[in-house]
Amino acid sequence: MEMKIGELTKRNFATCLGSQTIGALLEEIYYKPLSYVLVMTGKTVSRVFHIPDLYWGMPLGEKNTLDNISGSKEFIELSAKEDIGVLLNMEHDLAVVFDDDHQPLGVIDNVPMINKLLQFKRSRNKQIGLDYYEFDNIIDSLDVDVFITDGEGYILFLNPAAEKVCGIMKEEVIGKHVTDLEKENLISKSITMEVIKNRKKINILQKMNTGKTVLSSAIPIFNEAGEVSRVLSTSNNVADMNELLKRIEKQNQELVVKEQQLDLMREAVFGRNNYACFSKGMEEIKETVIKIAPTDLTVLIQGESGVGKEVVAKLVHSLSSRTKHPLVKINCGLIPENLIESELFGYESGAFTGANKAGKIGKIEMADQGTLFLDEIGEMPLLLQVKLLEFLQDREITRVGGTKRINIDTRIIAATNRDLKEMVQQGKFREDLYYRLNVFPLRIAPLRERAEDILTFAEYFLGKFNDKYILNKKMAPDALDLLAKYNWPGNVREFEHVMERAVVISNTDLIAAAEINVLIDIKQESGGKIFSTGLMPWKVAKKELEKQLIKRAYDIYKSTYKAAEALDVCQSTVAKMLKNMAE
Ligand SMILES: Nc1ncnc2c1ncn2[C@@H]1O[C@H](COP(=O)(O)OP(=O)(O)OP(=O)(O)O)[C@@H](O)[C@H]1O
């Protein structure tokens, strides 16, 4: 059954006589949520005014009576009992609805829209689309604020969500102009007028008198003549967005805390593994280790002997998820060639004479779930390189003398002080194995190339050996100078040994340069050898060498006596030559 006109009728109207002045009328209805005024002549409705139009005209004609002004809407009269089908194809915008006694019951506005809905519904012959009232209900139930004005900025509608955000009642503001809301400080800035002016969508942040800040978005709706006939504003509570942002921020903070905890954990790991660094290069290695440790990437660490390759390998393992499982080290250079295969792969009982009867598991198997550290990989015999390559490809081993394939899950870290690439070129190392290992290469620079690390190491090892020997020794500045100038052919390992011996042998609590000097002996700096890089006359070369040695010794000791002692010449020679050089 079709709806009746009475069900669609809005009761937001007032009646009055045509002799009433506009001023008096508006004063009377000011606070009421009304949209229309019906001017009565006896029992007949003679004119209908849209209340916002009256506000608009008021400054000019406050004293005018309704009979005297223009602007009445065209309308049609309908009975409440009629089916809504009568609206079909109706040309008027507005209908005034009467009851059985011909008393005005209300109005139906926006008839064309209802019309369209009806047509739509009928064309489908079923209940598709929404009834007019359903729209009202839906907009009222929306959690989004909806605020509608006419094309001049007079407020026509706001839903409960908008009432809440603005802190105003519909009744208070319907029919008012948006600029009044600004004047009354109900909103900070009207977006509606901007939209009317610019004829396009605008977004702004609005502060409401409720203290809430909303992000408003308003769009113009145009009539057929291309004029802005309505402005539809919706807004989102910034507090809700802020709430969301706060939540995101909180999560970010939690992440930062977690990151810090992770940093602390890493520091603890670094501390435990005795990794000291100061130079940019070493910091970079530390950062890289932090990044690659959690992955299962194979790492190839290259660098001279004693630079700290094993330290780095341990770090990678400690910071990986495999840390609870063993880090198994195999020094490929130390195991006799005939044993290395069984060392790596293990053997079954009775595999060869002299072997343990029960058999033995190899290092690779021991490293299952953990990390296998192949130190001195450059020393691995070529034949075994093939077997290692096979394992790296299949991740399976067969014990010597056995047939069973055993699946192994291990991470590989290899280290070498040899130039593997060069070995590949010389045919001493398998190219395919080289590429299998060189997945993530790390090169650790020799100590002489990272002089910035020396002071850090001095402090670090001083602390370490003071603790070890329960001492409290310090380094004299010239002793530190000396450490910084030496070129450390044995790298960190040599440095560590020198520091340990210095702590142990120094006679006082202050380790002096002379005590360091005894340990590193400047004459050994280049193994006691002097290299020439070009040819020059004998005498000139001799002179140049003398100058260089004197300068070097004096730079280190800052004393002609000590320099003379180190160079094994008399003090006057050093003093004289320094003087000549200065002239
Ligand atoms: N960054 C570092 N922080 C603290 N100690 C370090 C560092 N680097 C190296 N060392 C110390 O130097 C010594 C040599 O380090 P490590 O054994 O790791 O060197 P390597 O490069 O593996 O040497 P090799 O090639 O001879 O096996 C170790 O005692 C180690 O503790």
DSSP 71-137: -PPPEEEEETTSBGGGGTT---SEEEEE-TTS-EEEEE--HHHHHHHHHHHHHHTS--S--HHHHHH
Q: How far apart are CA 387 and CA 344, in angstroms?
A: 10
Cβ of 480 closer than 6 Å to ligand 1, yes or no, is: no
Mapping DSSP to helix (H, G, I), strand (E, B) and coil, where does residue 471 land? coil
- Here the contacts of 158-164 (C-beta below 8 Å, separation 24 or greater) are 162/235
Measure Cα distances from 398 to 337, 353, 389, 409 in Å: 18, 19, 13, 14
Residue type, 498: V
**CATH class of residue range 273-445:** alpha beta
CATH fold, domain 448-524, is: Helicase, Ruva Protein; domain 3 (1.10.8)
Enter the tokens of residue 405: 């394939």
The Cβ-side half-sphere exposure at 306, using a 13 Å CA radius, reads: 13
CA distance 173 to 32: 9
CA gap 309, 300 in Å, rounded: 10
Q: What angle do CA 334, 336, 337 make, to 5 degrees?
A: 115
Q: Which atom of ligand 1 is nearest to the CA of 417?
A: 25
Please work out whether the CB of residue 309 comes within 6 Å of at least one atom of ligand 1. Answer: yes
Question: What is the rounded distance in angstroms from the CA atom of residue 460 to the CA atom of residue 457?
Answer: 5
Residues 5-124: name the CATH superfamily: CBS-domain (3.10.580.10)
Pocket test for ligand 1, best of 284, 287, 301, 311 (most atoms within 8 A of CB): 311
Residue nearest to atom 29 of ligand 1 (CA): 493
Instruction: Give the pLDDT confidence of 89-99 residue by residue, as tens digits.
Output: 788 889 999 99
pLDDT value, residue 128: 43
List Cβ<8 Å contacts ≥24 apart for 527-530: 527/489
DSSP states along 159-170: -HHHHHHHT--H
Say what the alpha-carbon torsion angle 25, 27, 30, 34 is, to the nearest 10 degrees.
-10
Amino acid, res. 289 = V
d(CA 93, CA 407): 83
> Does ipTM top 0.95?
yes
Distance 148 CA to ligand 1 centre (A): 75
CA-nearest of 446, 454, 295, 316 to 374 is 316
Token pair, residue 193, equals 């007028």
How many CB atoms neighbour CB 42 within 10 A? Answer: 6
109 CB near ligand 1 (under 6 Å): no
Q: How far is the CA of 286 from the centre of ligand 1 (A)?
A: 14
Would the CB of 305 count as within 6 Å of ligand 1?
Answer: yes
- Alpha carbon of 452 to ligand 1 centroid (Å): 17
DSSP 559: -
**150 Cβ inside 6 Å of ligand 1:** no
**DSSP letter string, 36-53:** EEEEEETTEEEEEEEHHH
Candidates 283, 307, 499: which one to mutate for ligand 1, based on the most atoms within 8 Å of Cβ?
Answer: 307
Tell me which DSSP letter residue 177 carries. Answer: B
What is the distance between the alpha carbons of residues 332 and 518, in angstroms, rounded to a whole number? Answer: 35
Cα of 513 vs centre of ligand 1, distance in Å, is 24
Q: Is 420 helix (H, G, I), strand (E, B) or coil?
A: helix
pTM above 0.90, yes or no: no
In whole angstroms, give the CA distance from residue 204 to residue 189.
9
SS3 assignment for 1-18: CCCEHHHHCECCEEEEEC
In this structure, the residue with its CA closest to atom 8 of ligand 1 is 308
| Interacting residues of 21 by C-beta distance below 8 A, sequence separation 6+ | 62, 63, 64, 65
pLDDT digits (tens, 9 = 90+) for 11-43: 889 999 999 888 888 888 876 778 899 999 988
Q: Which residues of the chain have pLDDT under 70?
A: 1-2, 31, 56-62, 117, 120-136, 188, 224, 237-239, 241, 260-277, 350-358, 521-535, 555-558, 583
CA distance 415 to 337: 18
User: Is 462 near ligand 1, meaning CB less than 6 Å away?
Assistant: no
Helices and strands (DSSP H and E) totals, the chain: 24, 22
DSSP label of 187: B
**Amino acid at position 564, single letter:** A
Q: What pLDDT is recorded for position 133?
A: 62
Cα(312)–Cα(300) distance, rounded to whole angstroms? Answer: 11
Nearest ligand 1 atom to alpha carbon 416: 25
User: Judging by DSSP bridges, how do beta strands 411-416 and 371-375 pair with one another?
Assistant: parallel
Instruction: Please work out, in degrees rounded to the nearest 5, the angle formed at the alpha carbon of residue 464 by the alpha carbons of 460 and 469.
Output: 145
pLDDT of residue 42: 87
Distance 308 CA to ligand 1 centre (A): 3
Question: CA–CA separation, 583 vs 575, rounded Å?
Answer: 13
Alpha carbons 282 and 342: distance in angstroms, whole number: 36
Ligand 1 pocket, 275 CB below 6 A? Answer: yes
Q: Which fold has domain 142-241?
A: Beta-Lactamase (3.30.450)
Residue 413 · residue 298 · CB < 8 Å: yes
Which has the closest alpha carbon to 558: 487, 457, 484, 500?
Answer: 484
Closest ligand 1 atom to residue 310 Cα is: 18
Whether 303 lines ligand 1, by a CB cut-off of 6 Å, is yes
Distance CA 224, CA 222 (A): 7
Ligand 1 atom having least distance to the Cα of 313 = 18
As a whole number of angstroms, the distance between CA 359 and CA 346 comes to 8
What Å distances lie between residue 242 and 247, 252, 351, CA to CA? Answer: 8, 14, 72
